[in-house]
Structure formats: C-alpha cells, structure tokens
Amino acid sequence: MNFKMNTIEKLTEIFKEFPGIGERQAKRFVYFLMSKNGSYSENLSLMIKELKKDTAQCTECFKFFLSDNKKEDVCEICTDANADTSVLLVVEKDSDLESIHKSRIYNGKYFILGGLVPIVEKNTNTKIRISELISKIKKEKNLKEIILAFSLNPQGNHTDFYVRNQLKPVTESLGIKISSLGKGLSTGTELEYSDNDTLKNALKNRQ
C-alpha cells in the first residue's frame, strides 16, 4: 500500500478545513479544479498568495483587513475620525464585527476577542485576547462604556461572565461602565413557540 498522499488527497485535506466543507464537497472542489482550464487555477493560486501578502491584522481591533503590501497596520474602521471613541464593542470574531458594522446601527470602536471561553477549561487567557483588551482599555482616554456583544448561547453567556470579571478591576478604577446586549424577543419570535429563557428576558426587560 502507498502511504504517500497524492495531490488530490492533499488538496482534499486542505479544502476540508474551509468553513462548512466536509470530505465530500472538498473532493468535489478538487475534481472541479481538475476540470477547469489552467488559467483559472493559475489565477486562483495567485490570488490566494496576493491576499495573504495584502492581509494585515489591525493592531487596534485585531480585525484582518486589506493593506497594500501591509504598509498600514490599523484598519479603516479604527482610523475613522468620525467614530465615537467613548464606546468599545467587544465581539467574538471578524464576521460578528462585519455584521454589526454593515447594519450601521453602531458608530463606536470595536475589539475582536478572537474566540469564546469554553465552559470547561483552565487556561483561557491564552486563547482569547483578554490582556490585549485590558491594554486597549487603559490606552483609550475617552472611553465611558464597554459593550459585550456575544451570541446568546451557553458559551456566549459564559464568555460574558468571564470577561466582566477580568475587566472589573480596570473598569472600576477608571469609571468605565460594562454593558451587554439586550435580551428579549428577536425579529420573528412567536410567543407560542418561545423558550422559557426568552420569555423571561422579554418580560424582565419590558418597557
């Protein structure tokens, strides 16, 4: 038997890491590339290298962004002079930031934590950027409020709890408020089919 993987197998393994892609579709991608003409593959291969060459990670919010030959090290959102510097919204990942930024409902600063805190785990601060967040908070002079914006699931709740505890010493001494996104009915929620927690939050946060 031959234990050396061939190019088809190697490429399938790489595509399997793509978000939402399993073995079957990874293989379809490879066959697709085999059937396309050379210039398509050439172009794809080139663009992937270009992308990496131009991708920088913002030193302020830790978002990945396009920077011509990585000359800039702060993203276009963090350099926006019109942003409200009194609020800092902390999210789990790049796509959460994208989602909120595109909705144009928020005009403050952002910070990407880089993950959620697993419910059972010891050394969490190695995974998420808690020390970077604390440095950022200390550095921002106008900051009045930190908004924790995590998904409403057990890990998101746990992360909210964990981050609040970690930030407390700093925020209390600096007089900065910590808030979390509001809970209640979300668009399309039908009372009849709602879970107890949602009903409870909706009732508690009535207004």
- Residues in contact with a copy of itself, counted by CB under 8 A, come to a total of 85
Residues contacting residue 139 through CB under 8 Å, at least 6 positions apart: none
Task: Decide if residue 26 touches a copy of itself (CB under 8 A).
Answer: no
The CA–CA distances, whole Å, from 26 to 35, 38, 46, 51 equal: 15, 19, 20, 21
Task: Decide if residue 30 touches a copy of itself (CB under 8 A).
Answer: yes
Per-residue DSSP letter, 122: S
Task: Decide if residue 17 touches a copy of itself (CB under 8 A).
Answer: yes
Pick out residues in 135-154 that bind a copy of itself (CB under 8 A): 147, 149-153
Shortest spacing between CB 166 and a copy of itself, in angstroms: 19
Binding mask 161-180 for a copy of itself (x = CB under 8 A): ------------------xx
Pick out residues in 97-116 that bind a copy of itself (CB under 8 A): 98-100, 103, 105-106
Member of 22, 23, 44, 118 binding a copy of itself (CB under 8 A): 44
Copy the structure tokens of residue 156: 């998101």
Contact 75, 112 (CB under 8 A): no
Task: Decide if residue 119 touches a copy of itself (CB under 8 A).
Answer: no
Residues contacting residue 14 through CB under 8 Å, at least 6 positions apart: 26
3-class secondary-structure state, position 19: coil
Q: Which stretch, 44-52, 78-86, 136-144, 167-175, contacts a copy of itself (CB under 8 A)? A: 44-52
Q: Which stretch, 115-123, 127-135, 165-173, 192-200, contacts a copy of itself (CB under 8 A)? A: 192-200
Q: Half-sphere exposure of 72 toward its Cβ, with a 13 Å CA cutoff?
A: 14
Contact 133, 91 (CB under 8 A): no
Shortest spacing between CB 116 and a copy of itself, in angstroms: 11
Shortest spacing between CB 206 and a copy of itself, in angstroms: 4
Pairing of the two strands 84-91 and 145-149:
parallel
Member of 14, 118, 121, 142 binding a copy of itself (CB under 8 A): 14
Cα 66-67-70 angle, rounded to 5 deg: 130
The single-letter code of the amino acid at 35 is S
Copy the structure tokens of residue 80: 């926006």
Shortest spacing between CB 4 and a copy of itself, in angstroms: 12
Task: Decide if residue 74 touches a copy of itself (CB under 8 A).
Answer: no
Shortest spacing between CB 173 and a copy of itself, in angstroms: 22
